[in-house]
Amino acid sequence: MKHVIIIGGGVAGLGAAYKVRRSADAGHDVSFTLIEREERLGGCLVTELVDDPETGERYIVDGGSDAFITSKPGVHRVAKMLGIFDDEVRTCDENKKTLILKGDKLIELPDGIMMFAPTKLVPLATTNLYSWPAKFRMALDLVIPRKEKWAEGETAQQHDETLESFVVRRMGRESLDRLAEPLVGGVHASDPAQMSLAATFPNLLEMEQQFGSLIRGFLHQRKLVEEQRRKHPPKPGAKRFTFFSSFHDGMQFFTDRLADAAGRDRIRVGVAASHVMRQPDGSWLVTLSDGTELSGDAVIIATPAWATRRLLGDLDARLAELLDSIPFSSSATVPMAFRAEDCPFDTRFFGILVPLVEHRPVMAVTMSSSKWPDRAPAERVLLRGFVGGPHNQEIMDKSDDELIEIVRTQLVEMLGLRADAKPLFARVFRWTLGMPQYTIGHLDRVDEIERTVGAQRGLGLAGGSYRGVGVPNCLESGEKAVSKVLGDFGITLAEDSVEEKRIW
Ligand SMILES: Cc1cc2nc3c(=O)[nH]c(=O)nc-3n(C[C@H](O)[C@H](O)[C@H](O)COP(=O)(O)OP(=O)(O)OC[C@H]3O[C@@H](n4cnc5c(N)ncnc54)[C@H](O)[C@@H]3O)c2cc1C
């Protein structure tokens, strides 16, 4: 029997636990114990069910991740195995509108913008989002030659560049400040001047190589998608996907079901791992915060890189240095609900992006009750402010009450919420050192981390610190860590069946 200790009960750790469980069910002699510091499982996936103080009706409030991207198959595949595929919920695309704050105005994202590149002339010409010189500068993308031609076989990783350098070079400063920064940098809560494109959006670097222009690249991509839709129209009754999805009962529903299927009897909550060391016989010893010890053949550490580094202590000096080199930023989400009569504005939009150049204390606002069905009762509006990020770490020193008032005031100023409107309820979810920053050269560092870990029999690392922060990436990182550590013992796991993988 090979026993795997998994540290961290976020989606990566739970994905690992469920994979060990499936392997045991398939006949392998393996088991696991999962250790989670908090009383609650799920990590960055946290959903609170809140009752309306007046009507008692229910809100579904996501405090961390509120969605997963549907083009990556991991969550669908596992949801299918868990029997919860039909619990996935689509966004309300009839309200699909993104607003961008400029001065005291909210401007709708112009039609035809793909990421931050314009692909339609008339909406670009008529939008007030950019000045005329900026529009002209963006169009120059069509003629500005690529920075350099990659040699045969080279990839984005060898030509890493920051988001800021890339966007300013191709489309000008205003394109970065007005859209690319809040859209791309904001989503990752990252500084565009540090953020690695190779680690986050390598397709942008590849597009420049292939087409010599982002506009031409995105136009080509749009044509391909339209062709595919024509060739393969959706089958009647087949499930349709929106760009992002969630679950009817919120994102934590997914990690809760993962924990159920993996086996809660193998999961210990409310106790932290405090040290991990290799024993002379090659097995692993994990010391817990209650003073007890656990011994296993393998250990998978699915905590943020800074926490992993503390756990591993002096196991390997170079590994410690590499883990230390991944910076993190802190942020908080501040969901709050209002009566519809306190919101005398058009609520039919998904969210607001607030560029850094606006010098506001919020980075973004999500209109949760318009983006998703059934997140709030009728006649109620559920919004969520997002604060913090690398340019505003000081805001994290504010108390919960102060953060709630800051976000409320911003809603008054930006949206026209009634100045005296009091939230029916408000919550603050703090994500202290919760967002890994993929800075320039990140992929080279992760390659080296993987080589170093590869040399340690029975050690696996997983989670959002390495190869993608998105929920599907984290889930699959946990599964890959299981394949790695069991592979170290010559146990080869079967792939999930084609039927499980086939979603469409
Ligand atoms: C505010 C916010 C919004 C986001 N929005 C989205 C989104 O919409 N879509 C998307 O795809 N992604 C989103 N993400 C990113 C995504 O949610 C995370 O990258 C992902 O959930 C991380 O999963 P994980 O398992 O790697 O880590 P975590 O979720 O951080 O889990 C790590 C777990 O380890 C535990 N732990 C730490 N130290 C110890 C220890 N010593 N002993 C035991 N346990 C320990 C922690 O308590 C935690 O439960 C968002 C993230 C945040 C913070």
**Residue among 276, 251, 255 at smallest CA distance from 267:** 255
Q: In this structure, are 261 and 310 located in the same domain?
A: yes
User: Is the residue at 319 inside a domain?
Assistant: yes
Domains: count for the chain: 3
At residue 369, what is the residue type? S
Q: In this structure, are 77 and 180 located in the same domain?
A: no
Q: If you average pLDDT over residues 225-233, what whole number do you get?
A: 83
- Work out the angle between the directed axes of helices 442-454 and 317-324 (0-180°, nearest 10): 150
For the domain that residue 13 is a member of, what is the CATH number?
3.50.50.60
User: Is the residue at 498 inside a domain?
Assistant: no
Q: In this structure, are 198 and 336 located in the same domain?
A: no
Alpha carbon nearest to ligand 1 atom 34, residue: 8
User: Is the residue at 499 inside a domain?
Assistant: no
Cα of 464 vs centre of ligand 1, distance in Å, is 7
Cα of 8 vs centre of ligand 1, distance in Å, is 9
Alpha carbon nearest to ligand 1 atom 48, residue: 43
pLDDT in tens, 60-95: 999 999 999 998 989 999 999 999 999 999 999 999
> Looking at ligand 1, which atom is closest to the CA of residue 41?
49
Looking at residue 433, its pLDDT comes to: 96
Helix (H, G, I), strand (E, B) or coil at 45: coil
Q: If you average pLDDT over residues 3-23, what whole number do you get?
A: 98
Looking at residue 413, its pLDDT comes to: 97
Let me know: does 490 contact 67? Beta carbons within 8 Å.
no
Q: Which residue among 18, 40, 44, 252 has the greatest number of ligand 1 atoms within 8 angstroms of its CB, and so is best to mutate?
A: 44
Q: Which residues line ligand 1 (CB under 6 A)?
A: 7-13, 35-38, 43-45, 64-68, 272-273, 302-304, 307, 311, 331, 333, 431, 434-435, 463-464, 469-471, 474
Distance CA 475, CA 258 (A): 10
pLDDT in tens, 367-410: 999 999 999 999 999 999 999 998 999 999 999 999 999 999 99
Q: In this structure, are 273 and 399 located in the same domain?
A: no
Cα of 406 vs centre of ligand 1, distance in Å, is 25
Q: In this structure, are 408 and 460 located in the same domain?
A: no
> Looking at ligand 1, which atom is closest to the CA of residue 311?
41
Alpha carbon nearest to ligand 1 atom 14, residue: 65
Domain boundary, last residue among 395, 415, 436: 436
> Which residues, including other chains, have CB under 8 Å from residue 5's CB and lie 6 or more apart?
32, 33, 34, 35, 284, 286, 294, 296, 298, 299, 300
> Looking at ligand 1, which atom is closest to the CA of residue 14?
25
Q: Which residue among 40, 303, 368, 427 has the greatest number of ligand 1 atoms within 8 angstroms of its CB, and so is best to mutate?
A: 303
Mean pLDDT of all residues in the chain? 94
Cα of 44 vs centre of ligand 1, distance in Å, is 4
Element (H, E) at 484: helix 471-487
What residues form DSSP beta bridges with 90? 245
Q: In this structure, are 318 and 332 located in the same domain?
A: no
Q: Which residue among 65, 290, 308 has the greatest number of ligand 1 atoms within 8 angstroms of its CB, and so is best to mutate?
A: 65
Cα of 435 vs centre of ligand 1, distance in Å, is 8
Cα of 45 vs centre of ligand 1, distance in Å, is 7
Let me know: does 33 contact 488? Beta carbons within 8 Å.
no
Q: If you average pLDDT over residues 287-314, what whole number do you get?
A: 97
> Which residues, including other chains, have CB under 8 Å from residue 352's CB and lie 6 or more apart?
98, 99, 100, 101, 106, 364, 365, 367, 414, 415
Alpha carbon nearest to ligand 1 atom 38, residue: 303
Q: In this structure, are 452 and 378 located in the same domain?
A: no
Let me know: does 9 contact 471? Beta carbons within 8 Å.
no
Looking at residue 289, its pLDDT comes to: 97
**Residue among 342, 323, 420 at smallest CA distance from 383:** 342
Distance CA 472, CA 74 (A): 5
Q: In this structure, are 312 and 458 located in the same domain?
A: yes
For the domain that residue 423 is a member of, what is the CATH number?
3.90.660.20
Helix (H, G, I), strand (E, B) or coil at 195: strand
pLDDT bin (cut points 50, 70, 90) of residue 502 is low
Handedness of CA 344, 345, 351, 352 (dihedral sign): negative
pLDDT bin (cut points 50, 70, 90) of residue 231 is confident
Cα of 328 vs centre of ligand 1, distance in Å, is 12
Looking at residue 226, its pLDDT comes to: 86
Helix (H, G, I), strand (E, B) or coil at 296: strand
Cα of 296 vs centre of ligand 1, distance in Å, is 24
User: Is the residue at 500 inside a domain?
Assistant: no
Distance CA 390, CA 431 (A): 13
**Residue among 142, 155, 159 at smallest CA distance from 214:** 142
**Residue among 243, 166, 175, 244 at smallest CA distance from 206:** 166
Judged against a pLDDT cut of 80, whether residue 500 lies above it is answered with no
> Looking at ligand 1, which atom is closest to the CA of residue 429?
1
pLDDT in tens, 432-457: 999 999 999 999 999 999 999 999 99
Range of the domain at 376: 47-91+328-436
Three-state SS for 341-366 is HHCCCCCCCCEEECCHHHCCCEEEEE
Cα of 7 vs centre of ligand 1, distance in Å, is 13
Alpha carbon nearest to ligand 1 atom 29, residue: 43
Q: In this structure, are 222 and 118 located in the same domain?
A: yes
User: Is the residue at 461 inside a domain?
Assistant: yes
145, two tokens: 């030659």
Question: HSE (CB half, 13 Å, CA atoms) of 323?
Answer: 27
User: Is the residue at 106 inside a domain?
Assistant: no
Pairing label, strands 298-301, 2-7: parallel
Query: Phi and psi (nearest 5°) for 36?
Result: -125, 130
Longest dimension (CA), the chain: 70
Q: Which residue among 469, 473, 477 has the greatest number of ligand 1 atoms within 8 angstroms of its CB, and so is best to mutate?
A: 469
User: Is the residue at 333 inside a domain?
Assistant: yes
Task: State the CB neighbour count (10 A cutoff) for residue 38.
Answer: 14
